[in-house]
Structure 1
Amino acid sequence: MLPLSTFIAIISFVFGTCIGSFLNVVIYRMPEGQSIVSPPSHCPACTHAIPFYFNLPIISFLLLKGKCRFCKAPISIRYPLVELITGLLALGLFLKFELTPTALFYFAFGCLLIAISFIDLDHQIIPDKLSLPGIIIFSTSCFFVPQMRFVSVIGGILTGGGILYLVALLYYCIRKHQGMGGGDIKLLAMIGAATGVKGVFFTLFTGSVFGTLGGVGAMILAGKSEKREAKIPFGPFLSLGAMLYIFWGEPIIRWYINFQK
């Protein structure tokens, strides 16, 4: 018989993949202005309704060999990838925080970051319908995360939104055109609500590092004629930085401080 902790870990992963399946709906439909509730799941190519037994997270993709059962149109690898990422997020949070309000809070936060990241990758937008309610919802972090205080929440929101606003304003004054969207500003404010001032600075630093590496990689892969037109969304890198802070932020900060001594 499986130990209770192992059983809960398995359930956490399975639950996460199911939520990931719902996130796929949000990622696909919200930018198009479609309802995320109705109609039920269907193939984007032939619009045939997908029975529940062909809509099992990850498993159905493998069984169907990445093709629609009815029209044989290819299914994007994005779908099982989102489900896998969300499942691993749920599992990782359980292993770090166990089955606590902190784990549930950060799971909700991580799910929203996943949806925002993939929407930003596809459309280079961060919907206000996600970020603005997110600022309000995750302002409750002081009730779920032991080290968070209300002053940390307010400081995180003001610092997160304020830093990127000043960066965007400075860029506009120098270049005379917009270089950073308002969505990134609201996203970092939301991250600040959940992680505080320290989380904002950690997220901004690590997000900038990964964003720079991602931008260089994209320019190398793109043709020379496309390099000047390449636009790299910043939202996914901010989201990655925020999750790194939640899992390993404090040890990384301590290592960095000791390294500087």
Structure 2
Amino acid sequence: MDIVWFALAAVIGAVVGSFLNVVILRLPQEGASIAFPASHCPQCMHTLAWYENIPVISYLFLCGRCRTCRLPISKQYPLVEIAMATLAVLVLRQFGLSVELGYYVVFCAALLVIIFIDIHHQIIPDTISLPGILLGFFGSFFIQTITWQQSGLGILCGCGSLYLVAAYHASLTNREGMGGGDLKLLAMIGAFLGWQCLPYVLFASSVFGSIVGLIAMRRQKKGGQTRIPFGPFLALGALSYLFLEEHIHRLWQLYLSAAGL
């Protein structure tokens, strides 16, 4: 594919990422609008000029500081913009110019918002996951990667499988290990990727979470407790499946062959 298309995908992805920053910041705030007021510095409330709101470039041009109050701008802003630009390019590379392109760009954008909101607030907004479940299911009628039956089973199995895991964890520890937001997120993942992704997503997210959890335990003070949200790991598991599905299935077949199954 022509490099111009990839460059265009990166630019559009960065612009979408700029909007996602607004969603990440305002969606958890009760009663806040993601449309009004216009983009502004969260410290001094200075309304940004157009040249202060160019994805990534403005951050570099301003040396990471507000032009008015000179306080530092969070590195999260360019990080989200670069991440969304990268995801848009990867989706274009994976699916080309197709219906799947828009379908999975929306999926990636939703996961990116969920990752950062869950990290900051330990919540997964229903306003992202519930519409995502519906969009994933209805979109499955128009794409070639999964069928509507796979999507529907993905919703049912996604919510049900994580509920069983959460119930088992609660029975062992007498405390809640996962919230309802995680169940809805896995249902959304199943809607977009089909039921067949779920064993891998649960396995990969558990591995990612265990690694981060062990690192956090080593760094925390003696006797302290660290609450680590599980949503970001589910999202990372889903993203890795989306882009590495063929390699994952190939490794699974190699394992089965080596095990004589």
TM-score by length of 2: 0.95
TM-score by length of 1: 0.95
1:240 is displaced (CA, Å) by: 0.7
Letter in structure 1 aligned against 2:236: L
1:236 is displaced (CA, Å) by: 0.8
1:177 is displaced (CA, Å) by: 2.1
Q: Quick one: which of 18, 31, 35 aligns to 2:33? A: 35
Equivalent residue, structure 1, for 2:121: 123
Q: Report whether the alignment pairs 1:254 with 2:255.
A: no
Q: Quick one: which of 75, 81, 92 aligns to 2:79? A: 81
Identity of matched residues, %:
45
RMSD over aligned Cα, in angstroms? 1.2
Q: Quick one: which of 210, 231, 235 aligns to 1:239? A: 235
CA distance in 2, matches of 1:174, 1:92: 41
Contiguous gaps of at least 5 residues in structure 1: none
Q: Report whether the alignment pairs 1:230 with 2:244.
A: no
1:257 is displaced (CA, Å) by: 2.1
1:200 is displaced (CA, Å) by: 1.5
Equivalent residue, structure 2, for 1:70: 68
How is 1:26-175 mapped onto 2 (pairs within 5 angstroms)?
A: 26-33=23-30, 34-175=32-173
Task: Tell me if structure 2 keeps the 8 A contact 1:42–1:49.
Answer: yes
Q: Deviations over 1:104-140 (max 9, x none)?
A: 1000000000001100000010011111111111112
Letter in structure 1 aligned against 2:122: Q
Equivalent residue, structure 2, for 1:25: 22
CA distance in 2, matches of 1:247, 1:141: 19
CA distance in 2, matches of 1:97, 1:65: 36
CA distance in 1, matches of 2:173, 2:211: 23
Work out the number of aligned pairs and report it. Answer: 256
1:43 is displaced (CA, Å) by: 0.4
* Secondary structure at 1:105 match in 2: helix
* Secondary structure at 2:2 match in 1: helix
Q: Quick one: which of 198, 203, 206 aligns to 1:205? A: 203
1:166 is displaced (CA, Å) by: 1.1
* Secondary structure at 1:94 match in 2: helix
Q: Which runs of 4+ in 1 moved over 4 A?
A: none
Letter in structure 2 aligned against 1:71: C
1:249 is displaced (CA, Å) by: 1.6
Letter in structure 2 aligned against 1:14: V
1:222 is displaced (CA, Å) by: 2.1
Contiguous gaps of at least 5 residues in structure 2: none
Equivalent residue, structure 1, for 2:3: 6
